[in-house]
A and B are shown apart, each in its own frame.
Chain A
Amino acid sequence: MKSRITKTFESLRANGKKAFIPYIMAGDPDLNRTMENVLLLEKCGADIIELGVPFTDPLADGPTIQRAAERALEAGVTLRKVISFVRDLRQQSGIPIVLMTYYNSVFKYGDKAFVHDAVNAGVDGVIIPDLIPDEAGSFIRLSNKAGLDTIFLIAPTSTENRIKKIITASRGFVYYVSITGITGAKLALDDTFMEHINKVRSLTNKPVAVGFGISTPEDAHTIAQVSDGVIIGSSVVKKLFEHPDSAGVFIKKLREAI
């Protein structure tokens, strides 16, 4: 059976469109607000939502998302609560949800129990920035069997061999990290970036979405030209936290740019 994420990309592709994938931190500053934010993002045209799970030591994230995680932890949000949040969300929305979580939260939950509970709650996919395919053999098997999309990251430093390995391990889409760096850093769209992303796309028919460092409608527009989807995290997190009233306008601008 085709996953909800795959179907989303297929229908976008058929219409010549690209996916808009905003990221928000679950529980920032509490889960009620997260519910409002998810519905707002959907209304503003998000195709898939990446939902961050707070962790004490988010080593792939920059200051904006670190602080969001601290607020969510302060509010007592855990992986278990995020899964049950998705179950609640499913009463109101069918938008594809991808969890972004560090591996220790999953490991402590238990790989098998996590995959089972996540799928049952209506989670569509999972991104684990500190779990590379080399270490994910059994997690991938469990997820594939249960119908949970495993989305792995390709970095600008990835060699061709590693790119192939990551593509093979990925379901739903492949996540291309635009920069060597952490979330919220500055984007540099140079020739090297173009060469590398084109290389990745030449190696697969799976959708390739690009994230890290994309903060403005202009960035989003440029990235949409060379990818199947644009992932925007830190600037959305920041806007929703600091200026919730004007966030809708900003999110719509991102949508229109893609």
Chain B
Amino acid sequence: MKKYPDKKGYFESYGGRFVPETLMPALLELESAYAKARKDDLFLGELRHLQETYIGRPTPLYFAERLTGHIGGAKIYLKREDLAHTGAHKINNAIGQALLAKKMGKKRLIAETGAGQHGVATATGAALVGLECEIYMGSEDVQRQALNVFRMRLLNAKVNEVNIGSKTLKDAINEALRDWTTNVRNTHYVMGTVFGPHPFPMMVRDFQSVIGKEAKRQMLKTEGRLPDYLIACVGGGSNSIGLFYDFLRDSVEMIGVEAGGRGIGSGEHAARFAGGSIGVFQGCKSYLLQNDDGNVLGTHSVSAGLDYASVGPEHSFLNDLNRVHYTYATDEEALSAFELLSKTEGIIPALESAHAVAEAVKLAQKLSKDKIIIVNLSGRGDKDVQQVARIKGIEL
């Protein structure tokens, strides 16, 4: 199988670089610095050391026995990215990029954040390597993820509220790109997902692919065989590609779960494959929720991390190949999975990850007991507790 992306950053027809010229030299510089770093034993050694001693890798692969028993079908394993430092998989990428930025002599890190996990992870990476940090976050997300905003500030990052457009993740990315365009000479933009212009989709995938590599090793050790299914939620798509990537050549089925919001018919969702078409947005070509005139549609999800109008170009490629099956879970299904996992396993998942759990519940009951599913539990739910209480009408 051919390696993707190609030299111009394309996964067949998806990806590329659709950015203002001002950013091009920075992207070329990043591409070449990353090409060196990925072959540099010193860099890789340092990253591995931090993965083990700072992030807490490998994260466990946990057999969710009570959840499995409750459903009464296939065995469900959870890849516990929620146990990584800062509470989500985002740290895998943020530490990698922070190290790289430091090596490139940049003074400052900026990032966008939706749920706040990537903002926290980038602020953490900046604190770790000693760089300044500014985070852009939509004002709607600032409100629903207040806890993470405070965490970022504790970590010495400046948090800028974005009050334009839909006031969510896509607007935060626009602002971060504007900042980068202005301060490109001393600033590195830590893109938080497998999106944007080349080399971000490739580089972020590589930093996240540690998830799948570990899961494969752990599964072979525990069960002596590969799993039958992998399930992960897909916002931009970094935790899912992180889990899937090392299994792409194996005979393992993969399911990506998008945000179904209030249902596809309602128009209030972020299911790009179910409701989108191909477009060019924020640096790359991929599936996009847009109208007939190419303007980008508003999205809705109970989970800020999945509330985004486009999806990583490699996912569009894998969708067209039918290598990964993309489906969605509604807000309601995710909330019910959020509670189910909390009750049966004592694990409160992030609302993003709860979308993947919801799909696992649906799938496991249709499968026999000898089948195995791995769910990427991409983050923990502490950040969502207040919002869930609000939705349930409970005052804390």
B-binding residues in A (CB < 8 A): 55-60, 62-63, 66, 70, 73, 78-80, 103-109, 129-132, 134-135, 152-159, 162, 166, 177, 179-182, 185
CB-CB under 8 A for A177 and B21, given A66-B164, A104-B290, A157-B184: yes
- Is B280 part of the contact surface with A, judged by Cβ < 8 Å? yes
CB pair A105 B165 closer than 8 Å? no
Chain B residues closer than 8 Å to A59, beta-carbon distance = 20, 174, 177-178, 181, 282
Contact of B181 among A60, A103, A162 (CB under 8 A): A60
Q: Which of B177, B181, B182, B296 has the most CB of A within 10 A?
A: B181
CB pair B18 A103 closer than 8 Å? yes
CB pair A135 B18 closer than 8 Å? yes
CB pair A132 B19 closer than 8 Å? yes
Contact of A152 among B21, B174, B292, B294 (CB under 8 A): B21
Chain B residues closer than 8 Å to A180, beta-carbon distance = 22, 181-185
A-binding residues in B (CB < 8 A): 8, 16-26, 164-165, 170-171, 174, 177-178, 181-185, 279-283, 285, 288, 290, 292-296
CB pair B290 A108 closer than 8 Å? yes
Bound CA span A108–B294, Å: 5
CB pair B282 A57 closer than 8 Å? yes
Bound CA span A106–B294, Å: 8
CB pair B25 A162 closer than 8 Å? yes
Bound CA span A158–B182, Å: 14
CB-CB under 8 A for A104 and B279, given A55-B295, A79-B294: yes
Chain B residues closer than 8 Å to A70, beta-carbon distance = 164
**Min C-beta distance of B112 to chain A, whole Å:** 12
**Min C-beta distance of A17 to chain B, whole Å:** 28
CB-CB under 8 A for A162 and B21, given A57-B296, A180-B182: yes
Chain A residues closer than 8 Å to B285, beta-carbon distance = 107
**Min C-beta distance of B171 to chain A, whole Å:** 8
Chain B residues closer than 8 Å to A80, beta-carbon distance = 293
CB pair B25 A158 closer than 8 Å? yes
Bound CA span A104–B290, Å: 10
Bound CA span A62–B25, Å: 21
A/B interface sample: 24 pairs, CB < 8 A: A55-B295, A57-B165, A57-B174, A57-B281, A60-B178, A62-B178, A70-B164, A78-B293, A79-B294, A104-B281, A104-B290, A104-B294, A105-B293, A108-B294, A132-B17, A132-B21, A134-B24, A135-B18, A152-B21, A157-B21, A177-B21, A180-B183, A181-B181, A182-B181
Chain B residues closer than 8 Å to A105, beta-carbon distance = 293-295
* Identity of the chain B residue whose Cβ is nearest the Cβ of A58 in the assembled complex: B174
CB pair A56 B165 closer than 8 Å? yes
Contact of A108 among B20, B178, B181, B292 (CB under 8 A): B292
CB pair A73 B21 closer than 8 Å? no
Contact of A107 among B184, B292, B294, B296 (CB under 8 A): B294
